[in-house]
Structures are given as C-alpha cells and as structure tokens.
Chains A and B, each alone.
Chain A
Amino acid sequence: DVKVTQSSRYLVKRTGEKVFLECVQDMDHENMFWYRQDPGLGLRLIYFSYDVKMKEKGDIPEGYSVSREKKERFSLILESASTNQTSMYLCASSFGQGYQPQHFGDGTRLSIL
C-alpha cells in the first residue's frame, strides 16, 4: 500500500520564521505535489516536481519554495512565514504522465502566530 508521510500533523510557528514541511513517499513515484487546503477554496497547487531536482510552480507559489534532492522526499519551505500562510498543507504523489495526484498524505495543519 502506498504511503505518503508528512513529518508533522500539527505545527505552530511565529511570523518571520523559516518553516520546513517534509514529505516522504515509499513507492518510487516520479511526481510529487504540495497543495494548501482552505475552507471554501478547495485545494490550490503550490509547487510540483516531476523528477529529482526538478520543480514547477503551481498556482500560488509566492512565499514558498521547494526542494527535491531525493526521489522519495519533497520539502516545502516557507521562507518567512506570515499569518496568511496558516492553512492545511497536503503532500501528494503519483507515477507516470498526467500529473494528477494519486496518493495524499494526512496533511499538516500549520498555524502562524
């Protein structure tokens, strides 16, 4: 069974901090994604990666960066956290072309104070 693991379920940080959200998948998937989920807004794509060291901006990349040094790990970085980045963050993975997320992690609920 495919597993997408996000390092933290809940995280509280302060404005201006640099925040790292980690995601690991165990199925050798090429594609990995970071979304944020907000009530009434659905899921919005922040970044995705289709290979190691490759990344593409999604719809709302501002204020975020990503790192994919190894195939199984995709990190989301909030360079200088702000209160409007308080949200649920979802990592996902998939294989093959088409770039639709197939397997999701449980999410990280991030609060920026």
Chain B
Amino acid sequence: AQSVSQHNHHVILSEAASLELGCNYSYGGTVNLFWYVQYPGQHLQLLLKYFSGDPLVKGIKGFEAEFIKSKFSFNLRKPSVQWSDTAEYFCAVNQGDKIIFGKGTRLHILP
C-alpha cells in the first residue's frame, strides 16, 4: 500500500531563509503528487500538484516542488520565506482512486 513520509514534523526558520520540506512516497509506478497548506485558522488549500510532464512544478505564493522519480521524492521548496508562510504543510500522493496524506510539517517563521 502507498504511504507518504514527511520527515520534518516541525521546522523553524527566520524570514528570508530558504525552505525545503521533504516528502517521500513508497510505491512506484505512475503517481500524482500534491502539496496542501493550512494557514492558522484557515481551511486547507491546494498549493501545487504534479500529474505528468515537467518534474519541476510551480505553485502559488512562490512555492515549487520537484518530482524525482528515482528517489520517490516530491520536496517542497521556497527560496526566501516570509512570516506569512507560517502554516502546516501536507504532502499527498494518490493510491488508485484515493489520496494518501502525510502527517504534516508545521512550519514556523520567525519575524
């Protein structure tokens, strides 16, 4: 069965630092990959997604993620974070018709 690992449960960075959140999935083959974000007090929203094509995917608010098939990874990156990026981030991958979520990474940006 498919599983998703987010290695960092809690990340603390200063503003303007670069960000990389790790995400690995367990099952090969054709996959669809997603990153969701939940800002404090707000509902979950889709940040970006990969279905096929260019493995470097650009999302909203300056985020991007790179699909590396050989590493079963889909890491989320942002070159310079802002205080407003404080949120919880969830990686997700499809398993057949269902989406499996990782356990989430809480990102805290210090002003």
Which A residues are within 8 Å of any B CB, using their own CB?
A: 4, 35, 40-45, 48, 56, 58-59, 90, 92, 98-107
Contact = CB atoms under 8 A, between A and B. Distances in A.
Contacts of A102: 46
Contacts of B92: 100
A44 B103 CA distance: 9
Interface in B26-55: 32, 34, 42-46, 49
B103 A106 contact: no
Given A40-B103, A42-B102, A99 B90 contact: no
Interface stretch (B61-69, B72-80, B93-101): B93-101
Q: Is the interface of B mostly helix, strand, loop or mixed?
A: strand
Interface of B: 9, 32, 34, 42-46, 49, 90, 92, 94, 97-104
Nearest to A91: B43
Given A42-B102, A98-B32, A104 B94 contact: no
Given A43-B90, A45-B98, A100-B34, A105 B103 contact: no
Given A42-B90, A43-B90, A104 B44 contact: yes
Contacts of A45: 98-99
A106 to B, nearest CB: 5
B38 to A, nearest CB: 8
B45 A99 contact: no
A107 B92 CA distance: 19
A99 B98 contact: yes
